[in-house]
Amino acid sequence: MEFSATVILAGLILALLWLFSVKRRKYRLPPGPPGFFILLNCSFSETYGPVMTLYMGWQRTVVLVGYDAVKEALVDQADDFTGRMPVPFLFKATNGYGLAISNGKRWRQLRRFTLTTLRDFGMGRKGMEEWIQEVSQHLRVHIRTFKGKPFDPQFVLSSTISNVICCLVFGERFSFEDKQFLHLLTIMPKVTRFNSSPLGQMYNIFPWIMDHLPGYHQTIFGHVKEARDFIKREIQEHKETLDPSSHRGYTDCFLIRINQEKDNPSSEFNYDNLVSTVLNLFVAGTETTSYTLALTVLIKHPKIQETIQQEIDTLVGQRCPCMEDKKSLPYTDAVLHEIQRFLDIIPLSIPHYALHDISFRGYTIPKDTLIIPLLHSVLKDEKRATPRSFNPQHFLDNNGNFKKNPAFLPFSAGKRSCIGESLARMEIFLFLVSLLQHFTFSCPGGPDSIDLSPEYSGFANVPRRYTIIATPG
């Protein structure tokens, strides 16, 4: 019996290898290692170059390594690379609806509407700046309630940042005492962590098997359902109190658009797309931005934290910081960019997908190929002097002025870049400057107890969690 099982397994492996070789002969695929892999090994690019083919399980995958290859694909050939992979976990979480993993007509309609509507409600503009300033004041008040005792910053930051998203999406701010809202904030990090954990990666490769097995992944999908139920309740409340002449946020605008296009069979403005797009915005806008604000980086480097505070004290003082101050705070701006580069929160981007055969650098990327623009290889390019070290000098010139770097792509690039990039940049600057104006951050174990390597590395690099201390100053 054992022998038969071994023979069958060996036969399947040989069949897969034969199938891969046939596919390679049919197309002029980019070079790559033989066989199939569960995890992506970045070192393959040293042998096969910046554009390579490998097989993640049975899925043919083309990986783009380095700034030149990523830019050429996502920017110079943007139309060819707009496709998004229906990642199994995300597909199940959204039922295939929403903005994040949609393609074609659905993606075009939803992205155009979402960008326009969020900008109308102030995303990246003065109105949103004032809202963030107000929310940051609530954040400082909340931190003071800990009275210098250790606390978990992840929950505090997520609750604050998610309120900015809630302002745009629902037109309201939730209280720190709202039990449903607070419960939602406790489960969303679990969902993000799962998607980047080894178990989450296994689910994305073998979803049809794991859907029928018990385990922690079933608990996570229960959490996703809770998040969707929360969003559905908010949408229902907005629907019952909708005033077409007074839009409170993105949800109201979408509901009005649904009514306007109810007789249009080609319209993508429907209830399912609304629920899933709001979920996309909520998760992306809360989790990735709060991770980027990781105060543990500054705790690990207390002298850098002190230098930022000195610059803020000199040039801003105790008045409320604004985006105009960014020009006067080059060192602070450089540190914020370096935090995003160093933490490398979304190393793989959301995978792209070949919707048709693509000609790229003399190769053919066949239809239905998974495409991974390796943002990690752009942010931590080995050509830098210190790519794996935290060093604000990466964004400063010899005179101490802020220096732009075209390879700074934490939000990806091209037509599928992060829709909330301008909002995230504003939040990161205003929140951090406001916090460092009023507090010095440390941790019970001191700087040496901080490990900045990720706890999980997959779809996201998930930072380790620490309790920290905020000392008023």
pLDDT in tens, 51-109: 999 887 778 999 999 999 999 999 999 999 999 999 999 999 999 999 999 999 999 99
Give tens-digit pLDDT for 154-175: 888 888 888 888 888 998 888 8
Confidence of residue 381 (pLDDT cuts 50, 70, 90): confident
CA angle 18, 20, 26 (to 5 degrees): 105
pLDDT at res. 296: 93
Would the pLDDT of 275 be above 80? yes
**Residue 243 burial class via C-beta count within 10 angstroms: exposed 0-12, middle 13-18, buried 19 and up:** exposed
Phi–psi pair at 162, nearest 5 degrees: -65, -25
What is the amino acid identity at position 413? Answer: A
β-strands 461-462, 456-457 pairing? antiparallel
Domains belonging to the chain, first-starting first, are: 2-472 (1.10.630.10)
Separation between Cα atoms, residue 128 and residue 429, nearest integer Å: 13
Neighbours of 368 (CB within 10 A): 14
Would the pLDDT of 25 be above 60? no
pLDDT at res. 55: 87
pLDDT at res. 197: 87
Tokens at 142, concatenated:
């909340």
pLDDT at res. 310: 97
pLDDT at res. 177: 78
Confidence of residue 280 (pLDDT cuts 50, 70, 90): very high
Separation between Cα atoms, residue 417 and residue 373, nearest integer Å: 12
Confidence of residue 8 (pLDDT cuts 50, 70, 90): low
Phi–psi pair at 60, nearest 5 degrees: -65, 130
Separation between Cα atoms, residue 342 and residue 389, nearest integer Å: 7
pLDDT at res. 26: 66
Confidence of residue 1 (pLDDT cuts 50, 70, 90): very low
The half-sphere exposure of 56 on its side-chain side, counting CA atoms within 13 A, is 19
Of 14-28, 111-125, 206-220, 310-324, the poorest mean pLDDT is in 14-28
Length of the chain: 473
Instruction: Give the list of residues 6+ apart from residue 143 with CB closer than 8 angstroms, or none.
Output: 151, 156, 435, 439, 470
Query: Among 94, 52, 342, 110, which residue's Cα sits nearest to residue 195?
Result: 94
Please tell me which of 288-297, 298-307, 339-348 the model is most confident about, judged by mean pLDDT: 298-307
Separation between Cα atoms, residue 466 and residue 440, nearest integer Å: 16
pLDDT at res. 3: 44
